[in-house]
Amino acid sequence: MNFKQAFKMAMKSITASKMRTFLTMLGIIIGVCAVIVLVSVVQGSTGSITESIESLGANSITVSFTGRNSTKSVSYDEMKTFMEENSEYVSYVVPSMSGYGTVKYHSTNLSGSVTGTTPDYLTVKNRDVSNGRFITDIDVERRRKVAVIGSYNAQELFGFEDPIDKQIKINNELFTVVGVLEAISNSQESSEDNVIIIPYSSGRMVFKTNKIRSYTVWAATAELVDAASERLEKFLYSKFQDEDEYNVVSVASMMDVLDDITGMMSLLTAGIAGISLVVGGIGIMNIMLVSVTERTREIGIRKAIGAKRSSIMAQFLIEAAVVSCMGGLAGIFLSIIGTAILGNAMGINAFPSIFVMFGAFLFSAVIGIFFGWAPANKAAKLNPIEALRAD
């Protein structure tokens, strides 16, 4: 007896009791659907985190000084020297002094982050000015008290007024607004549109320190990020003689960590959802065992007219495999809908990958065969005389 015949026989008994088949399948449907939806959602949220990391720029390396009571820091001039010595690796060094500040215009108060930096900030952060100008080298050199504000700040402080050349107070220091940054995320409060940028050299009174706590180092190309990081670390070590005093993080290294974390998350969620698939498999085994008992006489008749053990085995095994595969397919179909709904509700861009769908399908098929084995074997081993005597 060939596979096609065994398949036809299996299909016949599957379609003979549709409700039971559906209920048997349900475990597999839910299991497959859960695996795919959860993994897709994890991957989707990873995607949005990845996007925001990537928006930092693939060339970007962030240096921050972490030593708590450290009095030491690296001055902008020292960093510039480093850049000149490694000009084939590094194209920009942008200092960043940042703190939380209160911004005041007439009677309107706002609080938000204030960043002291240089003109290259615009390049490495991939930002643009929509109104007025950005800070210039002369502003930095002459320690001018000028500020460029985010679109959120402009909207909240000035409303429909033109902010250019208006005087604002940042932590009670008077600054002149020279430009407004282009909005990048709908001018919301907790976004990068809520930002005040001043020349780092003018930040002393605002930040109550003249130490620069971090730099953005821009590698010449994305491929050189690792080499540039290495040189940077060597340079910093020569300054501090202590690895705990500073931290060098590139987007690439952040992505590596992120990949590790999300990889684990995916595995974990797939594992948990996989348990429901196994439970579904046990459901198949349960129903199949009952079915073998019910169909003892049928098996006896089949054996009497010449079915070999292998033929009976094949029939029941294929039946289990077909039930679980059909459940798998239905689960995939449902998961596409489920992922779309859940992704939409969570505001992330999630859709099931072919790889995950294929994997879940394969797993459901394996489960069907694995849990179908015992009932099929029970059927195949029935003694035909006793089986014929059954009701």
Which residues of this protein are in contact with another protein, per CB under 8 A?
1-2, 5, 12-13, 16, 297-298, 300-311, 384-385, 388
Nearer to another protein, 260 or 294 (CB): 294
Nearer to another protein, 120 or 298 (CB): 298
Residue 282: CB partners within 8 Å, gap ≥ 6?
27, 371
CB of 26 to another protein, least distance (A): 23
CB of 376 to another protein, least distance (A): 16
For the residues of 191-203, what is the DSSP string, one character each? Answer: STTSEEEEEGGG-
> Considering Cα of 234, then 236, then 242, then 247, what sign does the dihedral take?
negative
CB-count exposure of residue 374 (10 Å: 0-12, 13-18, 19+): middle
Nearer to another protein, 80 or 308 (CB): 308
User: Strand locations in the chain, DSSP E?
Assistant: 60-65, 90-105, 108-117, 129-132, 146-149, 167-170, 173-181, 195-199, 214-219, 246-250
In b/e form, how buried is each residue of 59-92, taking b as 16+ CB within 10 angstroms? bbbbbebeeeeeeebbebeebeebbeebeebbbb
For residue 178, give the nearest of 212, 214, 213, 146 by alpha carbon: 146
Q: In the chain, how long is the greatest CA-to-CA distance?
A: 105
What does the block give as tokens for 222?
A: 């994305």
How many Å separate Cα 105 from the centre of its chain?
40
CB of 285 to another protein, least distance (A): 22
CB of 321 to another protein, least distance (A): 20
Nearer to another protein, 119 or 384 (CB): 384
For residue 251, give the nearest of 224, 269, 271 by alpha carbon: 224
CB of 32 to another protein, least distance (A): 29
CB of 318 to another protein, least distance (A): 14
What does the block give as tokens for 139?
A: 């502003």
Nearer to another protein, 159 or 306 (CB): 306
Nearer to another protein, 127 or 303 (CB): 303
CB of 388 to another protein, least distance (A): 7
What does the block give as tokens for 221?
A: 């190309």
CB of 19 to another protein, least distance (A): 15
Nearer to another protein, 99 or 384 (CB): 384
For residues 344 and 335, what is the distance between their CA atoms, to the nearest angstrom?
Answer: 14
For residues 341 and 129, what is the distance between their CA atoms, to the nearest angstrom?
Answer: 38
CB of 10 to another protein, least distance (A): 13
Nearer to another protein, 21 or 46 (CB): 21
Nearer to another protein, 231 or 303 (CB): 303
Beta-strand relationship, 90-105 and 167-170: antiparallel
**Which residues pair with residue 168 across a beta bridge?**
175
